[in-house]
Structure 1
Amino acid sequence: MVFIYILNYFVNVLKIYFQSKYVYAFIGFITILLAAVVVGTRPLDAGFDTKGYIEAYNSLDKSLLESFLIVKHYFGVSIEPLFWGYAWGLSKIGVSPSGFLFITAFISILLTSWAYRKVDPDYYYLSFLGVIFSGSFINLYGNAIRQGLAIPFFLMAFFHFLHGENRKVILYGIITFLLHQYTGILVMLFYLIRFVPFRFYIGIWLGCFFLAFVIKSGILSSIPGFSTYAKGSSFAYLVHPTFLEFPIYYFFLIHFKLLNDNYLRKLFEFIAVVFLLQTLFIFNIYSYNRVGMLRFLLEPIIYTRIIFQLKPVKASKQVLLLIFFLYGLSIYLSEAVQTTLSSTPS
């Protein structure tokens, strides 16, 4: 993480000497490679999901159909033929479990980088670093790797949605679904924007907040099965930074009149819709984070635009890089991330 920051810091400080697109492409490749090393070289018994993936991968030594049935044993109904077909192919050519983790991380990050550049062509080199220096990056590419491989296609679906290309939205939505069903279903959220008037967002958010409070208070615990679903929840997420940051940067977007930009407005509207849905799952940490992943990945674009209101712009770039790095360092050193990337007891 430190090497990624130093590399990109000096590239931005000495930008006058790095005008060649080939130099930028090389620096970008090294950044992606280092990022893949961070999450892709973790132990085979690391974290939460990794052990399950490795056990499933080691079982992919039969026919494709038999392998799918084995995978179902580990991941329930989530067969996702594109992901497991890809894993089966790596297994057949003799790629080791460690190689499977690294190759998957590298391909996923590389494709996400490509898709992110489509979504944010003007400030990609900075906003994508905000993705790399985030907890979502560790979780997606170092733990929930099916979703990590699906994310670039989700982003491409979003890109084509912003440009009104519905056929391509459907195409990339299907690819996303075949890689990770849950993320594929959430492509439908794009179109929810059209049915939620922008002026009602704060009111709806307050309603969701109140509903979440009611849910977490235990009033609905008499509903069969609800107590099990909400087991282990606490009120911590009602005052968690990932929950409180939304109204804060919403204020700055209005203050700096950034929502006059039609592209940024559409981007924010989607993030807001995801946030509304996420609020309804605030009583369940697993669902809260899985839904929130979609907005966490796009929020660096918002932060980039807000920080760029500082003058001069050259200084604001360095401030932005430093903020992303310090946040990323605090995330990387956290107990949750260390658990994700380190060996855990059986």
Structure 2
Amino acid sequence: MGFLALLIVLLLFSLQLIISRGGLIFSGHKLELPQAFFCITFLVPIFIYGLFFIAFRPLDAGFDTARYVEAYLSLSDVFSARSTGASVYGNTELLWWPFQTIFSEWLGGRGWLVANYIMVFLLVFWAYIPLGRKYEVSPLIFSLVFLTYFFVYSGNTMRQAVALPFALVAFCSFFDKKYLRFLLYSAVAVGFHWSAIVFLFSPIMRLPIFNRRLGLIFAPLGLFLMSIFFADFAKLFVDLVGMPELRVKYELYIESGRVSHVGDVWTKLNFWLCILAGFLFLFVWRSEKQDNVLYAYVSFILGLILFGVSISDFSERFFPALFLVFPLIVTLILRRLKWPKVVSEGVLHLMFLLMGLMVLANHSAQETLGYDFTDFFEGL
């Protein structure tokens, strides 16, 4: 059934490609063909594909789904929601469980998973709207995010999947000099997942050194060289902030030597593709009429990943932040290559279809989402 969904996506992608002739990524923010055409042939198939694997995954799938559902079904009211979630699931974010009480009065476990998938899908679209306008790309390419490994995170690290679109918009807001919006969306992101607290450091990317390509490239590499001091920096930060919740995270991810649920991140092809694409994007640079917000974002996330490389689980934690913009950076790289429009869009479609297939083939992804395609891939 899952591969039938992927086949339908492939066929509709082909139809869209033949008719639009590159119109999705080359027509600018406003599409030349009717929006309904792109929705039917591009957006809806991916939405249904994600709906099948993420929203309708088994209620006991993977490492976290069963405990998420148990905590959700235990909610009674908004005031006790945080303590209930902390006792049943173990997380202490300020907004996550109180927000879920919106659904708990009228949705069961399955309905809640569906509602959260729809919410993440819409939030990613919302985050792509200003970026699409800025880089003259249709925001509808956001749906390709769900053919990357972000697809798996949406079904496992549900809190982070909700938080990251807010963090991305917060990052862009600071570059647009909308500082109150930056603080608001950063606070919301942190309220949904503690890892988003690092985005409070994102204003550093406005320093003059990051207006140059070499600054954006060498900053992550410099942080990689400093990664041997990561644990010391993390301890200092936790001591300065003084929040018990962050200290718990520090002890869990750093002092305990906890292993990531996807194993060693540096052995995963999907992760290497994102790292290499990120640095390639930084090398491509930008035209003069565009600001460097996306370039700064990619450099910032690469810096976090490489700085935390000595702690596998911390480094892995920020890969979905890179997956979130992967369709946009690949699109801009393809546009820079000056290939024929239909060829560039065809390469974009093929690349993400292959990535979607590789994600499904990943044993960790199958275990996380509760499906088993091992026999299928062994037969190829």
Where on the TM-score scale, by shorter chain, does this alignment land: which range?
Answer: 0.7 to 0.9
The CA distance in 1 between the partners of 2:168 and 2:281, in whole Å, is 25
Normalised TM-score (structure 1):
0.82
Deviation at 1:38, TM superposition (A): 2.4
The CA distance in 2 between the partners of 1:133 and 1:111, in whole Å, is 16
Give the corresponding residue for 1:191.
203
Q: Is residue 66 of structure 2 the alignment partner of residue 51 of structure 1? A: yes
Letter in 2 for 1:4: V
The CA distance in 1 between the partners of 2:198 and 2:288, in whole Å, is 25
Q: Which moved more, 1:101-110 or 1:279-288?
A: 279-288
Deviation at 1:213, TM superposition (A): 6.4
Give the corresponding residue for 1:71.
85
The CA distance in 2 between the partners of 1:104 and 1:296, in whole Å, is 19
Report if the CA contact (8 A) 1:4-1:35 is conserved: no
- Alpha-carbon displacement from aligned partner over 1:64-104 (angstroms, at most 9, x marks no partner): 333332111134452333x32332232212x1101111111
Report if the CA contact (8 A) 1:211-1:280 is conserved: yes
The CA distance in 2 between the partners of 1:196 and 1:280, in whole Å, is 21
Count of residues in Structure 1 that have an aligned counterpart in Structure 2: 329
What is the DSSP-based 3-state SS (H/G/I as helix, E as strand, rest coil) of the residue aligned with 1:164? coil
What is the DSSP-based 3-state SS (H/G/I as helix, E as strand, rest coil) of the residue aligned with 2:286? helix
Normalised TM-score (structure 2):
0.75
Change (3 A) 1:259 1:291: same
Q: List aligned pairs for 1:179-218, cutoff 5 A.
A: 179-183=192-196, 185-195=197-207, 197-198=209-210, 199-212=214-227
The CA distance in 2 between the partners of 1:250 and 1:284, in whole Å, is 21
What is the DSSP-based 3-state SS (H/G/I as helix, E as strand, rest coil) of the residue aligned with 1:148? helix
The CA distance in 2 between the partners of 1:343 and 1:319, in whole Å, is 28
The CA distance in 1 between the partners of 2:173 and 2:98, in whole Å, is 26
For structure 2, the 5+ residue unaligned runs are: 1-5, 24-31, 232-250, 373-380
Deviation at 1:206, TM superposition (A): 3.5
Change (3 A) 1:150 1:207: closer
Q: Is residue 47 of structure 2 the alignment partner of residue 32 of structure 1? A: yes
Deviation at 1:116, TM superposition (A): 1.4
Deviation at 1:304, TM superposition (A): 1.0
Q: Which moved more, 1:130-139 or 1:258-267?
A: 258-267
Give the corresponding residue for 1:6.
11
Change (3 A) 1:174 1:232: closer
| Residue number among 122, 126, 134 corresponding to 1:114 in the alignment | 126
Give the corresponding residue for 2:148.
134
Give the corresponding residue for 1:219.
none
The CA distance in 1 between the partners of 2:274 and 2:65, in whole Å, is 30
Change (3 A) 1:173 1:125: closer
Give the corresponding residue for 1:341.
369
Deviation at 1:193, TM superposition (A): 0.4
Q: List aligned pairs for 1:266-281, cutoff 5 A.
A: 266-281=293-308
What is the DSSP-based 3-state SS (H/G/I as helix, E as strand, rest coil) of the residue aligned with 2:92? coil
The CA distance in 2 between the partners of 1:9 and 1:49, in whole Å, is 36
Report if the CA contact (8 A) 1:331-1:337 is conserved: yes
Give the corresponding residue for 1:332.
360
Deviation at 1:188, TM superposition (A): 1.5
Change (3 A) 1:106 1:5: farther
Report if the CA contact (8 A) 2:166-2:186 is conserved: yes
Letter in 2 for 1:299: F
Give the corresponding residue for 2:110.
98
Deviation at 1:247, TM superposition (A): 5.6
Change (3 A) 1:320 1:30: closer
Deviation at 1:151, TM superposition (A): 2.6
Change (3 A) 1:70 1:111: same
Give the corresponding residue for 2:246.
none
The CA distance in 2 between the partners of 1:143 and 1:343, in whole Å, is 13
Report if the CA contact (8 A) 1:33-1:106 is conserved: no
- Alpha-carbon displacement from aligned partner over 1:41-84 (angstroms, at most 9, x marks no partner): 00011012212201101211x33333332111134452333x32
| Residue number among 177, 181, 197 corresponding to 1:168 in the alignment | 181
Change (3 A) 1:34 1:264: farther
Report if the CA contact (8 A) 2:145-2:327 is conserved: yes
Deviation at 1:282, TM superposition (A): 1.3
What is the DSSP-based 3-state SS (H/G/I as helix, E as strand, rest coil) of the residue aligned with 1:14? helix
Letter in 1 for 2:186: G
Aligned CA RMSD, in angstroms, stands at: 3.2
Report if the CA contact (8 A) 1:47-1:343 is conserved: no
Give the corresponding residue for 1:146.
159
What is the DSSP-based 3-state SS (H/G/I as helix, E as strand, rest coil) of the residue aligned with 1:259? coil
Deviation at 1:299, TM superposition (A): 2.8
What is the DSSP-based 3-state SS (H/G/I as helix, E as strand, rest coil) of the residue aligned with 2:293? helix
| Residue number among 301, 311, 320 corresponding to 2:348 in the alignment | 320
The CA distance in 2 between the partners of 1:97 and 1:142, in whole Å, is 14
Deviation at 1:268, TM superposition (A): 1.2
Deviation at 1:160, TM superposition (A): 2.2
Percent sequence identity is 23
For structure 1, the 5+ residue unaligned runs are: 217-224
The CA distance in 2 between the partners of 1:186 and 1:4, in whole Å, is 36
List structure 1 runs of 4+ shifted beyond 6 angstroms: 213-216
Letter in 2 for 1:5: L
Report if the CA contact (8 A) 1:157-1:170 is conserved: yes
| Residue number among 155, 168, 193 corresponding to 1:155 in the alignment | 168
